[in-house]
Amino acid sequence: MQSCLDTFRDLAAKMTITEPAFTRGPGYWTQPSDERIKTIFGALTNINSQRENWYSVTSYIGEFWCTISNLGFIYVCIKHGSPELLFAGIASAVSHTIPKQWLLTVDKIGVLVVASKVIRERQVLKEHPWLLLPVALAGIINFSDSYLARQHSQTWPHVVWHLSSALFADIFLRHAKQEL
């Protein structure tokens, strides 16, 4: 039991890094010198939340692939008329475009708004308990994304998380409409 706890502590210690896993290059919205800014609207996204080298594709989008992958949420929102998903998709796209900590907080609020939608529609989960499997899978993908980004500088898991979560939202909302 003790060795298991030691292994867990070692893993947890490795997940908090002090050096960025990705480069934080200059772009339209931020400069490397912004790293010193600590004000609420000026602080850059925390290094543990960074998912790509900034501005590597274009100087106007901080994390290009993470931004583009939010189109899945926008598509599902339009398909099902879900304002919650629209808010979450736009908040995520903006926070990946402009890497500021306060926008990341808005992004996380978007996730909570979508989670509240699932809670409000819990009857769908009662009638289709297998829908909990995609929710669990999204959690596993999200954990894997955090680990692989922080430890191995991998970008693709976050893109996979966005696209798979949009797919899972589509499946859930399809069943929610059938319940009406």
Q: Is the dihedral of CA 144, 107, 69, 93 positive or negative?
A: negative
- As for how many domains the chain has, the answer is 1
Burial of 69 by CB count in 10 Å (0-12 exposed, 13-18 middle, 19+ buried)? buried
Exposure class string for 126-148: b at 16+ Cβ within 10 A, else e:
eeeeebeebeeebeebbeebbeb
Overall pTM > 0.85: no
> pLDDT tens digit string along 42-80?
899 988 888 999 999 999 999 999 999 999 999 999 999
> pLDDT tens digit string along 105-152?
999 999 999 989 888 888 888 888 898 898 889 889 988 888 888 888
* Cα(50)–Cα(149) distance, integer angstroms: 8
- Domain residues for 56? 2-179
